[in-house]
Amino acid sequence: LNSLNFIALSNNKLKGSFPKGLTKLVNLQYFIMDDNPMFMPLPSDFGMLVKLQELRLANSGYSGSIPSSFSQLINLTTLSLEKNRLTGEIPAGFSSLSHIYHLNLSRNFLEGAVPFNASFLRRLGRNLDLSGNPGLCLDPNEAYGLRTDINACGDHKSYSFAQPAKKSQATCMFCSS
């Protein structure tokens, strides 16, 4: 198994945990395991597979945060984690993944400021999909001139107003007294 460099296990109804020894696959470059009902947190062990170029774990019910160890995947060109149940923030270290050209984190429950600068965002262009994460926002300085489905941080598109208990308690900001 030491020389194994490609694993494709998509659509096999695999579930449960990964076998121990995942980290021993030191020459693994491609790990493709989309569409399996895993329903578990993403294993941080993937971050130790530094030769990985493509990691695809979409539509498999992964939960919890994206391990910060994924930022150590310096040879990664493709990361596909869409349609899972991932929460928390995108690891700040993702912005240093200099070889990545396809990043899909869409349709999760990610939140917070996207940690990518304008240069990173332009480099990925349409190969970056963060849609379907209503809690994500972009730094307004980085978002300027870019077309994304993500709101700028501090840009609230919808507002809710509390109804006063009694009509006599209502105030009018635009009425003259």
Give the residue from 113, 108, 173 showing the smallest Cα distance to 142. Answer: 113
Helix, strand or coil, per DSSP, at residue 138: strand
Instruction: Determine the pLDDT at residue 167.
Output: 34
Residue numbers in the chain where pLDDT is lower than 70: 143-148, 155-177
Instruction: Determine the pLDDT at residue 105.
Output: 98
Residue 24 and residue 48 in contact, taking contact as beta carbons nearer than 8 Å: no
**Considering Cα of 96, then 123, then 41, then 89, what sign does the dihedral take?**
positive
Whole-structure pTM value: 0.83
Which residue is associated with the tokens 């840009």? 155
Helix, strand or coil, per DSSP, at residue 168: helix
Instruction: Determine the pLDDT at residue 165.
Output: 34
Which residue is associated with the tokens 């990664």? 76
Instruction: Determine the pLDDT at residue 151.
Output: 84
Q: Residue 100 has which token pair?
A: 């990545």
Question: What's the rounded Cα separation, in Å, for the pair 124 and 120?
Answer: 6
Sketch out the chain's domains with CATH numbers: 6-169 (3.80.10.10)
Burial 94-107 (b: 16+ CB within 10 A, else e): bbebeebebbbbbb
**Considering Cα of 70, then 132, then 77, then 23, what sign does the dihedral take?**
positive
